[in-house]
């Protein structure tokens, strides 16, 4: 190994990279992506993926509930739930998971420990929303607003 000084990074201009496709190919690809047929196929794919995604979310909910006071596991599971609950048609579940993630992030950033009762309340609300047959978005927004206010108050 040589004792020479480390080399500095070489900046490469974006124009120096070869284009993945030409202008006409790019225009054709964009037209295909914007077509009604592509949109319909995407909608069918999303609908077919909803049931397996909901099953995965319910598994995460079970694991999150089983985690109890293990805040790292709760955070990991709620983060996963937040990521794709709305895609599975669980809008309220995703909204409440988002609130809990933000609360836990904020508390950690401040060097504090999350309030166990508040986390348990969120976990319970997420579980209830995920297991409900129909997503009552209006009621979910009301619950989400109240949980957000409570989380902000306790994060101070």
Mean pLDDT to the nearest integer, 116-127: 92
What pLDDT, on the 0 to 100 scale, is given for residue 140?
A: 65
What pLDDT, on the 0 to 100 scale, is given for residue 146?
A: 75
C-alpha 129/C-alpha 136 separation (Å) is: 9
Global pTM exceeds 0.75: no
Long-range contacts of 72-78 (CB under 8 A, 24+ apart): 74/104, 74/119, 74/123, 75/101, 75/104, 78/104, 78/122, 78/123, 78/126
Mean pLDDT to the nearest integer, 109-132: 91
- What is the CATH code of the structural domain delimited by 49-155? 1.20.120
SS3 content of the chain, % helix, strand, coil (to 5): 75, 0, 25
What pLDDT, on the 0 to 100 scale, is given for residue 136?
A: 63
Residue 88: CB atoms within 10 A of its CB come to 23
The pLDDT-based confidence of 20 (bands split at 50, 70, 90) is confident
């Amino acid at each position: 190994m040589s004792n020479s000084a480390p080399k500095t990074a070489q900046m490469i201009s974006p124009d120096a990279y070869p284009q993945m496709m030409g202008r006409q190919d790019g225009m054709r690809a964009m037209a295909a992506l914007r077509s009604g047929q592509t949109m319909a196929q995407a909608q069918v794919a999303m609908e077919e993926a909803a049931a397996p995604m909901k099953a995965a979310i319910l598994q995460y909910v079970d694991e999150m509930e089983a985690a109890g006071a293990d805040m790292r596991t709760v955070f990991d599971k709620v983060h996963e739930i937040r990521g794709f609950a709305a895609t599975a048609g669980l809008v309220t579940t995703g909204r409440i998971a988002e609130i809990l993630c933000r609360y836990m992030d904020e508390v950690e950033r401040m060097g504090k420990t999350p309030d166990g009762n508040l986390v348990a309340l969120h976990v319970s609300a997420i579980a209830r929303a995920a297991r409900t047959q129909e997503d009552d978005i209006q009621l979910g927004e009301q619950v989400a607003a109240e949980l957000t206010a409570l989380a902000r108050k306790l994060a101070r």
